[in-house]
Amino acid sequence: MSSRDRGRAWPRGLQAALRYVAMAVLALALFAVILLLAGKDPIQAYRDIFTSTLGSAYGLSEVFVTMTPLLLTALAVALPSRLGLINVGGEGQLYLGALFATWGALRFSALPAWLLLPLMIVLGMIGGALWALPAGYLRARGIVNETITTLLLNVVAPSIVAYFVFGFWHSPMDTNKTANFAAAARLPTLGGTRINLSLIFGVVLLALFWYVMARTRWGLEMRAIGGNPGAARRSGIPVARYLVGVMMAAGALAGLAGMAQVSGYYGVLLVNFSRGLGYMGFLVSWLAGGTPLGIVVTSFVVAVILTGGNLLQLTGDVPYAVINILLATTLFVVLARPSLPRRRKVA
Amino acid sequence: MTPLALLGVVSSAIFSGTSLLYATLGEIVGERSGVVNLGLEGVLLVSAAAGFAASAASGTPYLGILVAMIAGALMNLILGYLVVSRRANQLASGLALMFFGFGLSAWIGRDYVGAKITGLPRLTLPGLAGLPTLYGSLLRFDPLIYLVLPTAALVWWVLFRTRWGLSLRAVGEAPDTAFAAGRNPGRIRYRALLAGGLLAGLGAAHLSIAYAMNWTEYMTAGRGFIAIALVIFSKWHPLRAIVGALLFSGAVAFQLLLQSSGVQVSPFLLNTVPYLLTLGVLIIWGGRRRNAAPASLGRVYQGAE
Amino acid sequence: MKKKNVLSSLAVLATAALVLAACAPALTPQPLAPTPLAPTSLPAEATAAPTAVPTEAGPCLIIGALYGGPVNDAGYNQAMHESVMAIKQNIDCVEIIEAENVPEEAGATSTMENMIQQGAKMIIATAFNHQYPALELSKKYPDVIFEHAGGWEMGPNFANFFGNPPDTWYLMGKAAGMMTKSNKLGFVAAFPLGWTSTFINAFELGAQSVNPEAETTVAYTFAWGDAAKEADATNSLINQGADVITMHVDSPATVISTAESRGVHSIGFQSLAAQQFAPQHWISGTGYTLGDKLTWLASTVLDGTWQPIFLRCGFQDGCMAFAPYGPEVPQEVKDAVEQAKTDIAAGSLVVFAGPIVDQEGNTKVAEGETLSADAMGSVDWFVKGVNGSPK
């Protein structure tokens, strides 16, 4: 059946860009409809989101603050996805990383920052890696799917954190948190903003991820496993070792994100400090197709949405949680993969 | 630990476990057809908010229950649209639905926080009316609680004793085979999600209208994920889910009793037991075929059109 | 597959309908019983100039208020909200920007920053865990005044205010002690905090003063506003025999509704609006009524005489008020409580005067001494007669 394939007339890059623009417009339009139905002014709302995020230096810095943990939690999903592993456990690994790092901060608070911070970073990564280990191991042995294991452990992690905070680390005056971290235990911030050093970590690690996947033998073997585990095993690649190792690495990344949150952002370990950061990372990685550059762009866009909600709450008189609707409509639109008029879907 | 205190634990477990059981039953139906709904938390939140709002606005809880059920069904239909019609990744779609639920429920419920509603009437079964008041007050349950066991039995019967249920399970195991046999996997999954959403809405209604009689943001506090774990724990079987739900909520009630008895067991560690238990049984089953999940669970059905 | 397309379009339409139904400003309930104070819940909007403006254009002072929860929760946040709105009632040219459900700790910073950028010169942070972000910002903006509720930090432009509940708890305990038939009282608490333990102790001491057999059992929910856990805790306490329930959580609504549905007495806290949930078995309750004090603070900001003060005031100064008694409360109970009120106000009755013995029998407050206000904030023991663990 020869049909004129009009889609091919456009360059691929332009096609992709147009598609993203169309999806963005559709998502914004959906949210605008919702706002209208509620009697709010969508133009004003979008203007507020814009001015409070991209329209001022402070706003932009807040966007980066929100974006920072997303880079790491998304990477924690993207890395194992190259092996075909689905790591939904970023949330739990984040909490455990925060837990271990907090132990370091409280126990060694007398140390100077240049010793304490690297120690906390290492502790955070160990915590996250340990939490991901059962999932990797059970998957490698073919006993339990890592999606289920990580999901279950996600729910367990905040309870463990609460146990330590309440049992050992809180003072009578404080409620559901530890004492404030000593200055030496805080990740330094950049300029006068609240952006902390882990933003650099995130970018560097993403670049490292790209390099490892594209240019090293490990990356090659990982892609082989992801493509065809049976064939990979037969050609001598130690699949089990990769499954466990990569899961632990992913856990370490999420753990680092957790450490950065309590050390850089909060300065205290608060029970239930993460409202879905790990899951958000999963969505960012998924939206970005697991590519490093995609992760940077997607987490930036998501961060803009989340940060904009703050001002929207004040001026638009909507609860802050409503910004989740905009986030969700964006996700729905991408998930629903609407096609541009020119392109035909081939069965 | 007097018998009265233990009976109190059972009573509390039944009370708080009912909403969990309904939600679990809903998720079982959906997962049996091959669709996992990670957004169950969001579905429960929206249903709870909508049901509570309707109760507060109309003055009758029964309208609230109806609205909650419809809300649950609609939320699940969103998932159905994404996962069946658009063939999107189930996990990502579920999580997106969860965030949607966070936002929508906050908005729906915003004006109704702290509203006073008429809850459901509490009745004792006719035979038990003669008990001394101390015991009697433990056994006064609302209609939704009395309905939950028959509902579980109904779900079991539909899934395992009707042709519709058989088709549903077939789609969950091998959608391609089912398609070859003349079934429409997409339509069946939609219907499963619809039914599941109604059940989830019922659970959410019980939580906000009959149990807590209130609405606050993020009110379900993880019940959606508890239900997902419970589905696994009960091996995707509606009747085993009853035991699981009682166990899970019984643990909470028991921990409260321990608290007041001065026994120093950390409530947080106790909270983790159900999930670790679930993980434990999964490890014990060890991936044996017989105990596995519906084979096509989580996989996108590509269709043959 | 035509049917599938129909089904999917139906789903989208249905979703739109759901959202429409949710957001349509149709039925606005009146969830709040009329209170003696400010008008009911409508969070103020940061729109243009306020309605009544004196000679100049624009408000004389913009105040930003943040709450940890929703302002219509019939509890702490509502009490704070009403106190803040009282400022506007008393000083007409003031404009108030409000934000509800503001996250704890560092999550509150951007909200406050946004308020300051909208022109707020006074920030009232009402949630416990907003203290440190507010303190940080106070250093960044030395010309903005920060008032925090319930904390302890102070700074050149950062101060603290709160009511003084322990005395009121004693009085409520008295009423509970006289009304209980099972001699078991139930207390639903969020966290084992120093202040919470003080409230529990005051409650039990009040009950013991009229009923030496009275025991208070404590159940923790480990959350400030988890309705399901509150229902769990209330049911558990009732199942253990408690027939008077009270609480220290953000919103008393669920606890009181649950108690009412089980036919058990309840005593409210945080806000006076709680009474509507227990029309029959309500005993009484207390709530924060800080409107006048906040108005005074705002007026000092306006005329430039503001000083950082650690402000604590009790029912004698009008910062805490008592709810009306419920229909089942006999006259003798009312008389006893009123008498005790007068005694406390006169200073002849001090709640935490020694000797006070804890659960293990150790003397925590010796004969002739009293517990200081500072010590009350870090109490980690319960008086004899309380069941439960204070840590």
Return the residue in C102, C162, C193, C380 with the most chain A beta carbons within 10 A, the one to mutate for interface testing: C193
Residue C2 has pLDDT above 90, yes or no: no
All residues of chain C having their beta carbon less than 8 Å from the beta carbon of residue B115 are 29, 31, 72
What digits encode the pLDDT tens for the residues B223-273?
999 999 899 889 899 999 999 999 888 888 888 888 777 677 788 888 888
Asked if B215's CB is within 8 angstroms of C227's CB, the reply is yes
Question: Are A140 and A85 within 8 A, CB to CB?
Answer: no
Question: Are B98 and B36 within 8 A, CB to CB?
Answer: no
What mean pLDDT comes out for the span C248-263?
A: 92
Q: What is the pLDDT of residue C44?
A: 36
Q: What is the pLDDT of residue C150?
A: 87
Return the residue in C224, C232, C256, C262 with the most chain B beta carbons within 10 A, the one to mutate for interface testing: C232
Asked if B216's CB is within 8 angstroms of C73's CB, the reply is yes
CA distances in angstroms from B302 to B29, B77, B84, listed in the order given: 21, 18, 9
Question: Are C31 and B116 within 8 A, CB to CB?
Answer: yes
SS3 B246: helix
Task: Identify which of B38, B107, B225 has the shortest CB distance to residue A322.
Answer: B107
Portion of chain C with pLDDT greater than 70, in percent: 85
| The Cα angle at residue C78 between residues C73 and C83, in degrees rounded to 5 | 180
Task: Identify which of C20, C194, C224 has the shortest CB distance to residue A173.
Answer: C194
Consecutive H or E run containing C186: strand C184-189
Q: Report the candidate in A317, A305, B111 with the shortest Cα–Cα distance to residue C99.
A: A317
Q: How many helices (H) and strands (E) does chain C have?
A: 11, 15
CB contacts < 8 A (A, B): 129
The string over B151-161, giving b where at least 16 C-beta atoms fall within 10 Å of a residue's C-beta and e elsewhere, is: bbeebbebbee
The Cβ-side half-sphere exposure at C238, using a 13 Å CA radius, reads 30
Residue B274 region, left (φ>0) first, then alpha (ψ -120 to 50), else beta?
alpha
Q: What is the pLDDT of residue B75?
A: 97
Task: Identify which of B95, B105, B282 has the shortest CB distance to residue A283.
Answer: B95
DSSP state for residue B211 in the 8-state scheme: I
What digits encode the pLDDT tens for the residues C142-191?
999 999 998 889 999 999 999 989 999 999 999 999 999 999 999 999 98
Question: Which chain A residue's Cα is nearest to B81?
Answer: A336
What digits encode the pLDDT tens for the residues A141-196?
888 888 889 999 998 999 999 999 988 888 767 767 888 898 899 999 988 889 99
The Cβ-side half-sphere exposure at C35, using a 13 Å CA radius, reads 31
Question: Which chain A residue's Cα is nearest to C110?
Answer: A310
Alpha helices, DSSP H, located in chain A: 12-37, 42-53, 57-81, 90-107, 113-140, 146-164, 198-215, 217-227, 229-234, 239-260, 277-287, 292-315, 323-336
The set of chains that have 3 or more CB pairs under 8 A with C is A, B
List the CATH number of the domain containing B33: 1.10.3470
Provide the domain count of chain B.
1
What digits encode the pLDDT tens for the residues A83-92?
999 999 999 9
Asked if C25's CB is within 8 angstroms of A38's CB, the reply is yes
State the Cα–Cα distance between residues C42 and A261, nearest whole angstrom: 34
| The Cα angle at residue A338 between residues A335 and A339, in degrees rounded to 5 | 135
All residues of chain A having their beta carbon less than 8 Å from the beta carbon of residue B272 are 155-156, 159-160
Asked if C258's CB is within 8 angstroms of B104's CB, the reply is no
Q: Is C232 on the interface with A (CB under 8 A)?
A: no
What mean pLDDT comes out for the span C54-61?
A: 70
CB contacts < 8 A (B, C): 181
Neighbours of A230 (CB within 10 A): 9
Q: Report the candidate in C145, C56, C119 with the shortest Cα–Cα distance to residue C93.
A: C56
Q: Report the candidate in C164, C149, C154, C1 with the shortest Cα–Cα distance to residue C81.
A: C149
Residues pairing with C155 in the sheet: C158
| Residues C201, C202, C207, C209, CA torsion sign | positive
State the Cα–Cα distance between residues B105 and B207, nearest whole angstrom: 14
User: Quick one: chain B helix, strand, coil %, rounded to 5?
Assistant: 75, 0, 25
Asked if A144's CB is within 8 angstroms of B283's CB, the reply is yes
Q: What is the pLDDT of residue C20?
A: 41
| The Cα angle at residue C38 between residues C162 and C202, in degrees rounded to 5 | 35
Can you list the pairs that B55-58 forms with residues at least 24 positions away whose Cβ atoms lie under 8 Å? B55/B117, B55/B118, B55/B209, B56/B112, B56/B115, B56/B116, B56/B117, B56/C29, B56/C31, B57/B112, B57/C26, B57/C27, B57/C29, B58/C27
Residue C46 has pLDDT above 80, yes or no: no
State the Cα–Cα distance between residues B100 and B80, nearest whole angstrom: 15
State the Cα–Cα distance between residues C340 and C334, nearest whole angstrom: 10
All residues of chain B having their beta carbon less than 8 Å from the beta carbon of residue C287 are none
Residue C18 has pLDDT above 60, yes or no: no
State the Cα–Cα distance between residues A208 and A201, nearest whole angstrom: 10
Crossing angle, helix A113-140 and helix A90-107, to 10 degrees? 150
Task: Identify which of A38, A176, A266 has the shortest CB distance to residue C106.
Answer: A266
Asked if B259's CB is within 8 angstroms of C220's CB, the reply is yes
Domain range enclosing B15? 3-301
User: What are the tokens at C378?
Assistant: 């870090």
Residues pairing with C219 in the sheet: C188
CA distances in angstroms from A160 to A163, A277, B270, listed in the order given: 5, 18, 10
Neighbours of A134 (CB within 10 A): 21
State the Cα–Cα distance between residues A60 and C155, nearest whole angstrom: 29
Indicate the burial class of A28 (C-beta count within 10 angstroms; 0-12, 13-18, 19 or more). middle
User: What are the tokens at C31?
Assistant: 């969830």
pLDDT < 70 positions in chain B:
1, 127-130, 133-134, 262, 287-292, 302-305
Q: In chain B, what's the furthest Cα-to-Cα distance?
A: 66
Asked if C104's CB is within 8 angstroms of A37's CB, the reply is no
Q: At C296, is the pLDDT very low, low, confident or very high (cuts 50, 70, 90)? A: very high
Task: Identify which of B97, B106, B266 has the shortest CB distance to residue A319.
Answer: B106
Mean pLDDT of chain C: 84
Q: What is the pLDDT of residue C212?
A: 94
Asked if B122's CB is within 8 angstroms of C240's CB, the reply is no
What mean pLDDT comes out for the span C321-347?
A: 93
Question: Are B36 and B94 within 8 A, CB to CB?
Answer: yes
State the Cα–Cα distance between residues C122 and A4, nearest whole angstrom: 67
Q: How many helices (H) and strands (E) does chain B have?
A: 12, 0
Higher pLDDT, residue A341 or B203: B203
Asked if A282's CB is within 8 angstroms of B99's CB, the reply is no
Q: What is the pLDDT of residue B93?
A: 94
Q: Which of A126-135, B165-174, C57-66 reaches the highest mean pLDDT?
A: A126-135
State the Cα–Cα distance between residues C206 and C266, nearest whole angstrom: 16
Distance in Å, alpha carbon of B291 to nearest chain C alpha carbon: 33
Q: Is B132 on the interface with C (CB under 8 A)?
A: no
Q: What is the pLDDT of residue C57?
A: 66
| The Cα angle at residue A123 between residues A119 and A127, in degrees rounded to 5 | 175
Question: Which chain C residue's Cα is nearest to B55?
Answer: C29
DSSP state for residue A165 in the 8-state scheme: I
DSSP state for residue C323 in the 8-state scheme: P
Distance in Å, alpha carbon of C66 to nearest chain A alpha carbon: 10
Q: What is the pLDDT of residue A11?
A: 72
All residues of chain C having their beta carbon less than 8 Å from the beta carbon of residue B5 are 239-240
DSSP state for residue C358 in the 8-state scheme: B
State the Cα–Cα distance between residues A96 and A158, nearest whole angstrom: 8
Q: What is the pLDDT of residue B256?
A: 84
All residues of chain A having their beta carbon less than 8 Å from the beta carbon of residue B92 are 282-283, 286, 331, 335
Task: Identify which of B228, B283, B305 has the shortest CB distance to residue A143.
Answer: B283
All residues of chain A having their beta carbon less than 8 Å from the beta carbon of residue C106 are 194, 265-267
Q: Is A159 on the interface with C (CB under 8 A)?
A: no
Residue A237 has pLDDT above 80, yes or no: yes
Q: Which of B277-281, C38-42, C368-372 has the lowest mean pLDDT?
A: C38-42
State the Cα–Cα distance between residues B208 and C109, nearest whole angstrom: 32
Q: Report the candidate in C133, C136, C137 with the shortest Cα–Cα distance to residue C116.
A: C137
Question: Which chain B residue's Cα is nearest to C242?
Answer: B134
| Residues B87, B93, B94, B98, CA torsion sign | negative
Q: What is the pLDDT of residue C23?
A: 40
Residue C337 region, left (φ>0) first, then alpha (ψ -120 to 50), else beta?
alpha
Q: At C87, is the pLDDT very low, low, confident or very high (cuts 50, 70, 90)? A: very high
